[in-house]
Amino acid sequence: MPTSAGSRGLPLEVHTRSGKIWEPRWANIGGLDHWLDLAGGQKTGFYLDQREQHATVAKHCAGKRVLDAFCNQGCFALHAARAGAAEVLGLDSAADAILAARRNAERNGLKAAFEVANVFDRFNEPANARDRPWDVIVLDPPPFAKSKSALEGALRGYKEINLRAMQRLAPGGVLATYTCSHHMGDTELRGVLAEAATDAKRRVQVIAFCHQPADHPVLVTMPESEYLRGYILRVE
């Protein structure tokens, strides 16, 4: 079923190999049930390339206040709740993603709140600056740099969102921050984080270096295949 024409004039289609309709269904991933709509949901319906990070970040969440920004279907939030987080809030600008996150939380019997919100606006609201700080913040935004020409603006966006997150963390808090823009290399990401730490006047240490899993291999002859990277940081 053609949906539109691509940049080269070819029809774009969404269908299964068999031609049969793929009905939405529950799938157990990482020990949690998720409602998947692969044909009609966002992109692939679930970001499998982050499943290892869901478990890694959850290790820092027991008894903590956790903010999952750009939460999509709430995977980081749900794993944090299962790990015993005291409070969990997920934010995303997509209403359908938030509905899916709430549905997933209810299905798994987990206590986590989800709100439709622009993360940049939420961080910049003066009232929120006076809120009790978070113990763990996850930043897993969509790609800000979809082309090389957009990198300069993307760097400003990544710095801004990481700066605000650092300012909202309690001393000794954990920031898990990622980029899925293949145009943004590790040097650029580390530079952004260093600038954000300086402006926030916070001492920031690396706990872990993050990368895409082995089933998303990087080809040395195809730089575009290396696209997911991040850091887990302690913010003093």
Q: In the numeric block, which tokens belong to residue 18?
A: 């068999």
Active site residue 180: yes
Helix (H) or strand (E) holding 69: strand 65-69
CA distance 223 to 212: 14
Q: Is 231 helix (H, G, I), strand (E, B) or coil?
A: strand
Q: How far, in Å, CA of 214 to CA of 11, rounded?
A: 32
Q: Give the residue from 100, 71, 48, 46 showing the smallest Cα distance to 176.
A: 71
Q: Which of 61, 71, 180, 210 is catalytic?
A: 180
CB half-sphere exposure, 17, CA atoms < 13 A = 0
Going by their DSSP bridges, the two strands 169-179 and 229-235 should be labelled as antiparallel
Token pair of 195, please?
């600038």
The angle at the Cα of 49, spanning 73 to 177, to the nearest 5 degrees, equals 75
Secondary structure (3-state) at 35? strand
Give kind and range of the element (H or E) at residue 121. helix 119-124
Would you please indicate which residues are annotated as catalytic (active-site) residues? Answer: 180
